[in-house]
């Protein structure tokens, strides 16, 4: 039987095991229930919020922020793969 197409592409995720005290586990369950999010998504969002608080940024969020300036070459829509590859490689060269 052929697989049905999905609305979203498959994502690769890394499993992580976390041991919580009973109080923290109950808090996580309450936050998930009230928000309608999974426990995993609550933990992801908490980690990202903590990273922002500690001024630790995600490489993808940094890339998005850098690109928001609008300093893209003409024709970026037509040749976006090459433009993004050049931007990525240039960023890596600067930080070596």
Per-residue pLDDT tens listing for the chain (96 residues): 455 555 656 677 889 999 999 999 999 999 999 999 999 999 999 998 998 888 887 777 777 777 777 777 777 778 888 887 887 787 555 555
Question: 3-state class of 38 per DSSP?
Answer: coil
Q: Give residue limits of the domains in the chain.
A: 17-69
Q: Within 13 A of 70's CA, how many CA atoms are on the CB side? A: 0
pTM: 0.52
Residue 95 near residue 84, CB atoms below 8 Å = no
Q: Which of 63, 57, 62 is nearest to 84 (CA)?
A: 63
């Amino acid at each position: 039987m052929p697989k049905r197409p999905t609305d979203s592409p498959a994502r690769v995720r890394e499993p992580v095991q976390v041991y919580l005290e009973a109080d923290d586990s109950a808090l996580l369950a309450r936050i998930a229930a009230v928000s309608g999010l999974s426990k995993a998504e609550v933990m992801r969002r908490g980690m990202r919020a903590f990273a922002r608080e500690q001024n630790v940024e995600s490489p993808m969020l940094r890339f998005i922020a850098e690109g928001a300036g609008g300093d893209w070459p003409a024709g970026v829509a037509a040749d976006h793969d090459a433009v993004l590859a050049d931007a990525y490689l240039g960023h890596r060269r600067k930080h070596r």
